[in-house]
Homo-oligomer: A and B are copies of this chain.
Amino acid sequence: MKLKDQNTEATILESAKLIFMEKGLYGARMQDIANQAGINKALLHYYFRNKERLFDEVFGGALARYFQNMEIISDESLPIIDRVLTYSNRFVYFLAEYPQMSIFLIKEISSNQALFHLKVQGIKKDKKYSLLNVLKEGVEKGELPVIDPVVFLMNLHSLCAYPFVAAPIFHAICQGSGVQWTDANHEKLLQSIHEFIHFKLSKSHL
């Protein structure tokens, strides 16, 4: 069946992504992935030597896509605050598209820091700017109010990512109080994040 040829590998990757994101590295069973892909288990090992290899492929891909998406922060043609606003937009939209990605990454990173460090170093190596550096420079040059860049970065990431990470908890909380939290509320979320960004980064506030 040369039909599948290049298709099988993609199918496997897709299936693996699905299963890994749902169950994590430990929870996922090779058999589950094979079933999901509709193929024999041995074929997994034919395309990807072993579980970790397969996991790496999926994991690395996701991480690369994320960093690529966030590169906006380096665009020096825009005022920093605009870059940060766009950064938050892309962050939220990315997570809205891959709602499980964040928790997936955290899960696996927390149980395998070494791997993550390597991956990140590999991907980020060639990028001069990170949000953190941009913020530091902005403060030094007086384009931003005097804030602690690390704390701001943390606050911002928290506001963007946690709603997705903790979606199950929020559903439970809201349900318990008779309020509905639909996934369509991303606009509201973004609005509140933008407010926060203006609150922290606008000099007019001082």
Contacts and interface: CB of A to CB of B under 8 A. Distances in A.
Contacts of A181: 150
Contact of A162 (B109, B111, B130, B165): B165
Classify the interface of chain A: helix, strand, loop or mixed: helix
Interface hub of A148, A154, A173, A185 (most chain B Cβ within 10 A): A154
A171 to B, nearest CB: 8
Give the contact-size bracket for chain A.
35 or more
Interface in A66-89: none
10 tightest Cβ-Cβ pairs between the two chains A and B: A158-B162, A162-B162, A26-B27, A158-B158, A132-B177, A109-B168, A26-B26, A110-B168, A158-B159, A151-B192
26 contacts: A24-B24, A24-B27, A24-B111, A26-B26, A103-B106, A106-B165, A106-B166, A106-B168, A109-B172, A113-B168, A121-B176, A124-B176, A132-B173, A132-B177, A132-B179, A133-B177, A150-B185, A154-B162, A154-B170, A155-B196, A157-B170, A158-B161, A158-B162, A161-B166, A165-B165, A165-B166
